C-alpha cells in the first residue's frame, strides 16, 4: 500500500476529567473507506474530529499528507481545505443560498473568481443531483437535500479525504438512502473516506475497513464482512448483536 | 365503514360571522358599553370646547384676576361635566348588569364574548368618569393654570421641534457609534484569550454598572471643564461629550446583546466554516456575525428606544440654548415661564419619536421570528 494520507500517533483526549480517547493510533490510506462504529460516547466522533483538528488532541500527534497538524507552525486553514467534512446536523449557512454556501470558501479561501466559483458549485450540485436547487435557500430543502448540499460544499474544495460524522442520524428514515447513495458513488469514484455511522448496511457494503471503538479505544479492526461475521471481541459481539 | 367527508372550507371567522351569531341582548349590552365610553369622551370634549380651553388676558388685567386657563377651569368645574360623569357611571353600570344577568343564557360563544366586551367597556368608562369626578373635587384651578395651558405649547412649538431634532441627533449619532463599537466589544469579550477578554469585560461591566447620569456628569466636569481637550472644548464641547458618552454607554449594552446573539448560533456554524478552511476571523465575518446581527435586530432596536429616552440625561451637561434636546427645552421653558405645561410638550415629543420605534420592534420581532423558524426547520 502507498503512504498514509492521515496518521494519528498515540492520541489522547480529555474533556475535563473524562478520558475520551486513550492512546489511539490510526493510519488512513488512499482510496480507503474507513468506517468507524461503536456505542455512543465511545469517542468515534471525537476521533474523526481530531483528524481535521476541530478537536485538538490533548496528547499525541496528527499527520496529514506528511505534515504535522499538531505542530503550532502548521497552517491549519490551508490543510483543512484539503479535508472535507460533513456533519450530522448539516450546518449549512442559512443566510446564504445553496450556491452561496458552496462558493463562500471557494472565493474567500481558494481565491476563485465569482464566475469560476459558480461554475464549480454547479458542477458539484450536479454531482449530488441538486443542480435545480442552485438558487434555493437551505430552509427550502428537505433534510436529505440539505445534507447533499453539505457534501457538495465539501467536495467543491477538491479534498483528498472526506470525513463523515453520522451524516444520516438526523434524517427522516425515507431520506437516508439518497444521502447514502451519494456517498456510495463517491466511494466508487475512489475518494478516501472516513465514515462514522450507525448504518451497518452501508458499513458492510461500502466500507473497505471497519473499526469498532468503545470507551476511547480501538477494540477491533478488519474488513467489514469479516468483523460482522466473526467479531473477535466479546464487546464487539454484544454491540453487533444489539443493532443487527 | 363510512367516513364523513372532510369540510371543504375552514370554519367561518371574521366580523360578519361574529355579527351573525349575536342575539338582541348581546347587541344591546355591547351597544350600551360602547355608548358609555363614547358619551364620556365626546361629551367631555364638547363641554370643554363650549367653555373654551384658553383665553388671552388683557395686559392691564390686575395680578391674580385673569389666568389664560380660566375657561378650561370653568369647563372642568361646570355642573354639565358633573352630570355627564354621573350619567356615564349609570350607563356603564347598566352594561355591566345586563351582562351579569344574561351571561348564563347566551346561546353561543360569540354572543357571550360580545356581552362581556360591552360590560368591560362600560365599566372602564364608569371608572374613568369616577376619576374625573374625583379630579373635579381637588385643586382644579391651580392644576389647570400650571399644567394645562395648551396655548403655551403652540407658542413654543419651534423650540420643541428644535429639541426633538437634537434628541434625534444625539440618539442616532450615539446609537450608531455605540452599536459599531459594541460589536467589537462583544467579539473581544468572547475571545478565548483572557488578555483580550478581560479589558472588554471590565469596560462592559463598568458602563453597565454605573448610572448614565454619573457617566455624563463625570465626563462633563472631568473632560470638558477640567481637561479642556481640544475636541471637547468650546461651545460644541458638551454636545460632543454627550454623543461620546451615549455611544460609550450604548456600546456596553449592545455588546451584551450581540454576545447573546452570537452565542445563540449553533456551534456547528463555526465548525462548518472552519472545516472549509476559513480562518476564525473569516468565519466570524462571513458566517457568524451576519446571522447574529439578523437575530439581534429586535433587541438592539429595543436598546435604541431606551437610548432615545436616556438622551434626556444630557441636561446635566448644560448644553447651549440651540443644542437643548426635548427635556432640556421643557425645563428651560418651565424656568422662564414658571408653567409646567412645557413638561407635557416634552412628553409628547418623546412619544412621537418612541411609539413608532416600539411598533417597529414588535413588527421586526414577528417578522424575524418567522424567518428564524424557517432557518431552523
Residue A81, chain B, CB below 8 Å: the answer is yes
Chain B residue with CA closest to A143: the answer is B377
Identify the CATH number of the domain in which residue B281 sits: 1.10.3720.10
Q: Mean pLDDT across the stretch B8-24?
A: 77
pLDDT tens digits for B305-317?
999 999 999 888 8
Same domain membership, residue B144 and residue B111: yes
Cell numbers found for residue B202: 471590565
Angle of the B237-263 helix axis to the B157-189 helix axis, nearest 10: 50
Cα A101 from Cα A94, distance rounded (Å):
8
- pLDDT surpasses 80 at B237: no
Same domain membership, residue B184 and residue B114: no
Selection from B229, B209, B208, B364 nearest residue B298 by Cα: B364
Same domain membership, residue B317 and residue B202: yes
Cα B42 from Cα A167, distance rounded (Å):
68
According to DSSP, residue A171 is labeled: S
Q: Mean pLDDT across the stretch B239-244?
A: 89
Cite the beta strand spans of chain B per DSSP E: none
B151-157 long-range contacts (CB < 8 A, ≥24 apart) are B151/B53, B151/B54, B151/B68, B152/B333, B152/B337, B152/B339, B152/B341, B152/B342, B152/B345, B153/B341, B153/B342, B153/B344, B153/B345, B153/B348, B156/B329, B156/B333, B156/B342, B156/B345
Closest Cβ–Cβ partner in B277, B294, B377 for A95:
B294
Same domain membership, residue B88 and residue B177: no
Q: Residue B211: pLDDT band by 50, 70, 90 thresholds?
A: very high
Cα B122 from Cα B333, distance rounded (Å):
40
Q: Looking at the domain assignment, is residue B191 inside a domain?
A: yes
Same domain membership, residue B362 and residue B305: yes
Same domain membership, residue B359 and residue B287: yes
Angle of the B237-263 helix axis to the B194-209 helix axis, nearest 10: 120
Q: Looking at the domain assignment, is residue B240 inside a domain?
A: yes
Chain A residue with CA closest to B282: the answer is A108
CB contact under 8 Å between A104 and B377, yes or no, is no
CB contact under 8 Å between B277 and A81, yes or no, is yes
Q: Looking at the domain assignment, is residue B281 inside a domain?
A: yes
**Helical (H) or strand (E) element with A7:** strand A6-15
Cα A103 from Cα A114, distance rounded (Å):
8
Residues of A in contact with B279 (CB under 8 A): 77
Among A85, A95, A158, pick the best mutation site for testing chain B contact (most B Cβ within 10 A).
Answer: A95
Q: Looking at the domain assignment, is residue B7 inside a domain?
A: no
Nearest chain A CA: its distance from B288 CA (Å): 9
Same domain membership, residue B299 and residue B180: yes
Q: Which residues pair with B27 in a beta bridge?
A: none
Q: ipTM greater than 0.90, yes or no?
A: yes
Residues of A in contact with B278 (CB under 8 A): 77, 104-105, 108-109
Last residue of a domain, one of B109, B126, B148: B148
CB contact under 8 Å between B275 and A104, yes or no, is no
For the ranges A140-144, B132-136, B236-240, the maximum mean pLDDT occurs at: A140-144
CB contact under 8 Å between A109 and B266, yes or no, is no
- pLDDT surpasses 60 at B118: yes
Sequence-distant (≥ 6) Cβ neighbours of residue B24 within 8 angstroms: none
Angle of the B341-376 helix axis to the B289-310 helix axis, nearest 10: 170
- pLDDT surpasses 70 at A1: no
| Cα–chain center distance at B68 | 31
Task: Confirm if A30 and A5 have CB atoms less than 8 A apart.
Answer: yes
Angle, CA B355 vertex, CA B181 and CA B121 arms, to 5°: 150
Cα A5 from Cα A51, distance rounded (Å):
11
Last residue of a domain, one of B123, B148, B173: B148
How many percent of chain B have pLDDT more than 90?
A: 36
Q: Looking at the domain assignment, is residue B124 inside a domain?
A: yes
CB contact under 8 Å between A139 and B290, yes or no, is no
Cα B30 from Cα B40, distance rounded (Å):
16
Task: Confirm if A171 and A179 have CB atoms less than 8 A apart.
Answer: yes
Last residue of a domain, one of B87, B113, B148: B148
Q: Residue B3: pLDDT band by 50, 70, 90 thresholds?
A: low
Sign for the CA dihedral angle at B367, B372, B373, B377 comes to positive
- Choose between B361 and A12: higher pLDDT: A12
Residues of B in contact with A80 (CB under 8 A): 274-277
CB contact under 8 Å between A91 and B291, yes or no, is no
Residues of B in contact with A87 (CB under 8 A): 268, 271-272
Cα B150 from Cα B144, distance rounded (Å):
10
Nearest chain B CA: its distance from A167 CA (Å): 13
Q: Mean pLDDT across the stretch B183-197?
A: 93
Q: Mean pLDDT across the stretch B112-116?
A: 86
**What pLDDT is attached to residue B371?**
46
- List, as ranges, residues 275-334 from B with C-beta within 8 Å of A: 275-279, 282, 286-287, 290-291, 294
- Choose between B217 and B365: higher pLDDT: B217
Nearest chain A CA: its distance from B277 CA (Å): 4
Cα B123 from Cα B130, distance rounded (Å):
10
Angle, CA B358 vertex, CA B356 and CA B362 arms, to 5°: 115
Q: Looking at the domain assignment, is residue B14 inside a domain?
A: no
Q: Looking at the domain assignment, is residue B10 inside a domain?
A: no
Q: Mean pLDDT across the stretch A176-203?
A: 94
Cα B126 from Cα B134, distance rounded (Å):
12
Same domain membership, residue B132 and residue B29: yes
Cell numbers found for residue A55: 478537536
How far is residue B44 from each of residues B39, B72, B153, B340, measured CA to CA in Å?
8, 11, 21, 23
Same domain membership, residue B325 and residue B185: yes
Sign for the CA dihedral angle at A190, A196, A201, A204 comes to positive
Closest Cβ–Cβ partner in A54, A108, A138 for B286:
A108
Cα B66 from Cα B55, distance rounded (Å):
9
Host domain of residue B36: 22-57+65-148
CB contact under 8 Å between A139 and B272, yes or no, is no
**What pLDDT is attached to residue B358?**
87
Task: Tell the residue number behind the cell numbers 354639565, with chain if given.
Answer: B80
pLDDT tens digits for B58-107?
777 777 777 788 888 888 888 888 899 999 999 999 888 888 887 677 77
Q: Looking at the domain assignment, is residue B4 inside a domain?
A: no
- pLDDT surpasses 90 at B279: yes
Ranges A123-137, B6-20, B282-296, B343-357: which has the least confidence: B6-20
Selection from A244, A211, A205, A169 nearest residue A42 by Cα: A211
This prediction has a pTM of 0.80
- pLDDT surpasses 50 at B373: no
pLDDT tens digits for A44-66?
999 999 999 999 999 999 999 99
Residue A73, chain B, CB below 8 Å: the answer is no
Same domain membership, residue B184 and residue B298: yes
Same domain membership, residue B117 and residue B220: no
Residues of A in contact with B276 (CB under 8 A): 80-81, 104-105, 109, 153-154, 157
Nearest chain A CA: its distance from B8 CA (Å): 28
Chain A residue with CA closest to B274: the answer is A77
Angle, CA B239 vertex, CA B162 and CA B184 arms, to 5°: 115
How many distinct structural domains can be found in chain B?
2
Same domain membership, residue B207 and residue B139: no
Residues of B in contact with A154 (CB under 8 A): 275-276
Q: Residue B377: pLDDT band by 50, 70, 90 thresholds?
A: very low
| Cα–chain center distance at B51 | 33
Amino acid at each position: 500500500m502507498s503512504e498514509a494520507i492521515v496518521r494519528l500517533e498515540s492520541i489522547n483526549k480529555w474533556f475535563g476529567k473524562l478520558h475520551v480517547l486513550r492512546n489511539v493510533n490510526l493510519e488512513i490510506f488512499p482510496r480507503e473507506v474507513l468506517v468507524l462504529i461503536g456505542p455512543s460516547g465511545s469517542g468515534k466522533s471525537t476521533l474523526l474530529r481530531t483528524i481535521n483538528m476541530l478537536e485538538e488532541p490533548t496528547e499525541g500527534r496528527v499527520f496529514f499528507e506528511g505534515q504535522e497538524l499538531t505542530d503550532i507552525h502548521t497552517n491549519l486553514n490551508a490543510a483543512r481545505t484539503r479535508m472535507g467534512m460533513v456533519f450530522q446536523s448539516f450546518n449549512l449557512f442559512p443566510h446564504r443560498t445553496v450556491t452561496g454556501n458552496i462558493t463562500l470558501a471557494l472565493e474567500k479561501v481558494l481565491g476563485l473568481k465569482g464566475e469560476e466559483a459558480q461554475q464549480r458549485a454547479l458542477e458539484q450540485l450536479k454531482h449530488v443531483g441538486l443542480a435545480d436547487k442552485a438558487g434555493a435557500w437551505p430552509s427550502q430543502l428537505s433534510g436529505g437535500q440539505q445534507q447533499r448540499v453539505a457534501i457538495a460544499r465539501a467536495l467543491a474544495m477538491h479534498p483528498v479525504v472526506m470525513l463523515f460524522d453520522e451524516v444520516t442520524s438526523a434524517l427522516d428514515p425515507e431520506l437516508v438512502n439518497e444521502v447514502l447513495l451519494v456517498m456510495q458513488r463517491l466511494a466508487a469514484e475512489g475518494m478516501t473516506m472516513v465514515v462514522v455511522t450507525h448504518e451497518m448496511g452501508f458499513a458492510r457494503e461500502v466500507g473497505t475497513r471497519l473499526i469498532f471503538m468503545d470507551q476511547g479505544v480501538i477494540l477491533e479492526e478488519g474488513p467489514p464482512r469479516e468483523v460482522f461475521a466473526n467479531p473477535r471481541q466479546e464487546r464487539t459481539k454484544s454491540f453487533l448483536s444489539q443493532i443487527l | 365503514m363510512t367516513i364523513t367527508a372532510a369540510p371543504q372550507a375552514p370554519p367561518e371567522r371574521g366580523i360578519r360571522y361574529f355579527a351573525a351569531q349575536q342575539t338582541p341582548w348581546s347587541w344591546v349590552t355591547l351597544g350600551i358599553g360602547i355608548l358609555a365610553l363614547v358619551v364620556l369622551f365626546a361629551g367631555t370634549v364638547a363641554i370643554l370646547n363650549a367653555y373654551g380651553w384658553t383665553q388671552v388676558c388683557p395686559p392691564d388685567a390686575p395680578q391674580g384676576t385673569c389666568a389664560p386657563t380660566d375657561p378650561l377651569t370653568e369647563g372642568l368645574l361646570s355642573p354639565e361635566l358633573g352630570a355627564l360623569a354621573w350619567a356615564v357611571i349609570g350607563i356603564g353600570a347598566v352594561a355591566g348588569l345586563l351582562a351579569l344577568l344574561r351571561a348564563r343564557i347566551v346561546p353561543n360563544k360569540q354572543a357571550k364574548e360580545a356581552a362581556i366586551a360591552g360590560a368591560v367597556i362600560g365599566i372602564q368608562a364608569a371608572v374613568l368618569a369616577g376619576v374625573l369626578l374625583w379630579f373635579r373635587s381637588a385643586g382644579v384651578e391651580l392644576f389647570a393654570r400650571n399644567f394645562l395651558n395648551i396655548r403655551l405649547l403652540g407658542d413654543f412649538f419651534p423650540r420643541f421641534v428644535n429639541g426633538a431634532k437634537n434628541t434625534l441627533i444625539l440618539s442616532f449619532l450615539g446609537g450608531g457609534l455605540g452599536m459599531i463599537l459594541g460589536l467589537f466589544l462583544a467579539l473581544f469579550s468572547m475571545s478565548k484569550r483572557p488578555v483580550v477578554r478581560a479589558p472588554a469585560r471590565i469596560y462592559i461591566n463598568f458602563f453597565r454598572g454605573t448610572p448614565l447620569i454619573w457617566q455624563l456628569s463625570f465626563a462633563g466636569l472631568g473632560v470638558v471643564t477640567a481637561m479642556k481637550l481640544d475636541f471637547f472644548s468650546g461651545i460644541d464641547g458638551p454636545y460632543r461629550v454627550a454623543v461620546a458618552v451615549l455611544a460609550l454607554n450604548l456600546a456596553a449594552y449592545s455588546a451584551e446583546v450581540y454576545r447573546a446573539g452570537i452565542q445563540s448560533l449553533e456551534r456547528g456554524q463555526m465548525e462548518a466554516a472552519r472545516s472549509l478552511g476559513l480562518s476564525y476571523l473569516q468565519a466570524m465575518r462571513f458566517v457568524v456575525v451576519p446571522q447574529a446581527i439578523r437575530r439581534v435586530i429586535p433587541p438592539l432596536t429595543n436598546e435604541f428606544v431606551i437610548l432615545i429616552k436616556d438622551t434626556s440625561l444630557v441636561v446635566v451637561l448644560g448644553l447651549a440654548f440651540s443644542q437643548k434636546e426635548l427635556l432640556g427645552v421643557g425645563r428651560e421653558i418651565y424656568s422662564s415661564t414658571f408653567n409646567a405645561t412645557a413638561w407635557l410638550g416634552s412628553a409628547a415629543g418623546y412619544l412621537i419619536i418612541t411609539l413608532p420605534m416600539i411598533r417597529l420592534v414588535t413588527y421586526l420581532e414577528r417578522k424575524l421570528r418567522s424567518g428564524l423558524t424557517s432557518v431552523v426547520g
